[in-house]
Amino acid sequence: MASKLAIFGGEPAIPSNTFYPWPPITEVDEQYVLASLRGANHAFGPNCVAFEQEFAAWNGNTFAITTNSGTAALHMCVAACNCSEGDEVIVTAYSWSSSATCILHHNCIPVFVDIDWETMNIDIDKIEAAISPKTKAIIVVHLHGLAVDMAKVLDLAHKHGLKVIEDACQAHGAKFNGKKVGTLGDCAAFSFNQNKNLCSGEGGMFVTDDEGIAATARMLWSFGETRSPVEVRDYHAYALGWMYRNNDLTAAFGRAQLTRLDTYLAWQSHNAQELTRNLQGLTNVILPTVPEGHEHNWYNYVLRFDMDALGHSADASLFRHKIVRALKAEGLETAVWQSFILPKMTVFQAKNAYGYGTPWSSPHARAVDYSVEQYPVAQKHSDTHTCLVFSQRYPNPTGTVELVAAAIWKVMDHIEQLEMLPAA
Ligand X SMILES: Cc1ncc(COP(=O)(O)O)c(C=O)c1O
**Which residues of this chain interact with ligand X, rule CB under 6 A?**
69-71, 95-96, 98-99, 141, 167, 169-170, 191, 193, 204
Minimum CB distance to ligand X smaller for 69 or for 216: 69
- Which whole-number Å values give the CA distances from 4 to 332, 358, 424, in the listed order? 16, 55, 20
What is the nearest approach in angstroms of ligand X to the Cβ of residue 418? 30
Q: Which lies closer to ligand X via its Cβ, residue 12 or residue 70?
A: 70
Spatial strand order of the sheet with 204-208 comes to: 63-67, 204-208, 187-191, 163-167, 135-141, 88-92, 109-113
* Min dist. Cβ of residue 316 to ligand X (A): 23
Q: At what angle do helices 398-413 and 261-278 cross, to 10 degrees?
A: 40
Instruction: State the DSSP string of 102-138.
Output: HHHTTT-EEEEEPBPTTT-SB-GGGHHHH--TTEEEE
Closest CB 124 distance from ligand X, rounded Å:
17
Closest distance between ligand X and the C-beta of residue 86, in Å? 23
Residues whose CB is less than 8 angstroms from the CB of residue 227 and which lie 6 or more positions away in sequence, other chains included: 233, 234
* C-beta closer to ligand X: residue 193 or 259: 193
Which lies closer to ligand X via its Cβ, residue 167 or residue 330? 167
Phi first, then psi: give them for residue 99, nearest 5 degrees.
-60, -25
319 vs 375 by CB, closer to ligand X:
375
**Residue facing ligand X at closest CB distance:** 70
Residue 183 vs 338, nearer CB to ligand X = 338
DSSP codes of every residue in 350-408? TT-SSSTTTTTT-TTPPP----GGG-HHHHHHHHHEEEE-STTSTT--HHHHHHHHHHH
- Measured from the CB atom, the residue of 101 and 216 that comes closer to ligand X is 101
Q: What angle do CA 154, 157, 163 make, to 5 degrees?
A: 100
Q: Which residues contact 23 (CB under 8 A, 6 or more apart)?
A: 199, 257
Closest separation between CB of residue 112 and ligand X, Å? 15
Q: CB 151 → ligand X: shortest distance, Å? A: 21
CB of 221 to ligand X, least distance (A): 14
DSSP, residue by residue, 267-322: HHHHHHHHHHHHTTT-SSEEPP---TTEE---SSEEEEE-TTTTT-STTHHHHHHH
What is the closest distance, in whole angstroms, from the C-beta atom of residue 392 to ligand X in the complex? 17
**Which among 91, 94, 143 has a CA at the least distance from the CA of 294?**
143
Query: In the sheet that 175-176 helps form, which strands lie side by side, from edge to edge?
Result: 179-180, 175-176, 294-295
Give dist(CA 231, CA 251) in Å, integer.
18
Nearer to ligand X, 68 or 400 (CB): 68
Q: Give the nearer residue to ligand X in terms of CB position, either 186 or 274.
A: 186
* Least distance to ligand X, CB of residue 95, Å: 5
Cβ distance to ligand X smaller for residue 191 or 362:
191
Minimum CB–partner distance for residue 198 and ligand X (Å) = 11
Q: Tell me the longest C-alpha to C-alpha distance in the chain.
A: 71
- Residue with Cβ nearer ligand X (146 or 405): 146
Instruction: Please state the separation of Cα 400 from the chain's center in Å.
Output: 25
| Kind of pairing between the strands at 163-167 and 187-191 | parallel
Q: Minimum Å distance from CB 356 to ligand X?
A: 27
Spatial CA neighbour of 93 closest among 141, 163, 147: 141
CA distance 170 to 192: 9
Measuring CA to CA, which residue among 225, 220, 196 is closest to residue 55?
196
